[in-house]
Amino acid sequence: MKRREFLTLLGGATAGWPQVARAQQAGKIARIGYLASNLTNQSPLEAFRQGLRVLGYDEGRNVVIEYRDAQGKLEPLPALAVELVALKVDVIVASSTAAALAAKQATTVVPIVFATVPDPVGTGLVTSLARPGGNITGLSNLNADLVGKGLEYLTQAVPTARRVAILWQPGAFGEHTEQEMLKAAEVAARALGIQLQFVEARSPADIDKAFSNITGARADAVTVFVSGMLLGERSRLVDLAASNRLPVLYTFRELVDAGGLMSYGTSLADLFRRAAGYVDKILKGAKPADLPVEQPIKLELVINLKTAQTLGLTVPPMLVASADQVIE
């Protein structure tokens, strides 16, 4: 199996946030606000907790986590962010672009750590990756840059595909990033000689209709830009893909573990574990402005051959050999 290793932009912590630092030194229980787009999928949260435990934080003993869950909707996020600020948390962890934007709108004082933002500079969250500025920093998952390669992998797995649907949730990634992702898809489609069908799902209630539109347009395959809401609905997505016999490429491997065909993107678990490191540095006195935004260490291509067999697909051996993990 071939591993993809990418350089990480690393940054050390510098002294700052003196009130937080003094509180930690005095033995105060740290209070973390966790702002989630959707807590239905517990694996990112558990990865974050695991990262904290490795760093010596035990929930209920020396750290309290205040959870706020938007349950797959974008509208509640601003109010939930304000609630966390009112609780005087020491740091807010934002699980998505939409959550990070809501947290930034709610406070310019409380440190914020985002875990999965495709384009932090383009969405206006930070000034630059090397010097974020302000009270916010975190990790980028580079979704816009991966769209073309993902479509290439999908067409390799389904060489007969001529029409590919792209399922996405408007507003989940920020307007600038979404435009870049859609533009990248169009550029890749022209190079690959395929037609695209863009299908929106703004809430869980839209997913059945979205698949009806996809099948009605006779799409040969689907790519899903996985947002917090769509990640939470992964079982429905996988079931609908199976019942309609549609090969689907997802952004995150969690949907392949649930029975999806394939995924290409960053590791959610890795990003959320590393977010705990940012929290630790901030609680010990580092300023978010001085902590560079980190990019992915590795990208994963995961293929589920059991699902391929069910769909009647024979995935090319070369593609299987290039995968980071194959589920058989």
At 99, is the secondary structure helix, strand, or coil?
helix
In the chain, how many domains are there? Answer: 2
Q: If we measure between CA atoms, which residue out of 229, 237, 299 comes closest to residue 268?
A: 299
Percent of the chain scored above 70 by pLDDT?
Answer: 92
Is the same domain home to 181 and 233?
yes
In a shared domain, residues 308 and 274: no
pLDDT for 43: 87
- What is residue 144's predicted lDDT score, i.e. its pLDDT? 80
Is 148 in the same domain as 285?
no
Residues 187 and 111 placed together within one structural domain of the fold: no
Together in a domain, 126 and 214: no
Q: Which domain holds residue 181?
A: 143-265+300-327
Which CATH number is 109's domain given? 3.40.50.2300
- Please check the confidence at residue 89 and state whether its pLDDT lies above 50: yes
241-272 pLDDT, tens digit each: 999 999 999 999 999 999 999 999 999 999 99
Residue 27 has a pLDDT of: 61
Residues 40-71 pLDDT 10s: 878 899 999 999 999 999 998 999 999 999 99
Q: pTM (2 decimals)?
A: 0.86
Better-scored residue on pLDDT, 5 or 254? 254
User: Do 279 and 314 belong to one domain?
Assistant: no
User: Minimal CA–CA distance to 140: which of 113, 167, 101?
Assistant: 113
**Are 123 and 77 in the same domain?**
yes
- Reduced to 3 DSSP states, what percent helix, strand and coil does the chain have, rounded to the nearest 5? 40, 20, 35
Q: How far apart are CA 108 and CA 308, in angstroms?
A: 48
pLDDT of residue 2: 40
Is residue 8's pLDDT more than 70?
no
Q: Are residues 65 and 151 in the same domain?
A: no
Summarised one tens digit per residue, pLDDT across range 166-186 is 999 999 998 989 999 999 999
State the residue for tokens 């349950």: 71
Is 322 found in the same domain as 280? no
The reply to whether 199 and 170 lie within a common domain is yes
Give 310-325 as a 3 state SS string: HHCCCCCHHHHHHCCE
Examine the domain organization and report whether 230 and 290 are in the same domain.
no
Is 173 within 8 Å of 118 (Cβ atoms)?
A: yes
Instruction: Quickly state the pLDDT bin for 21 (edges 50, 70, 90).
Output: very low
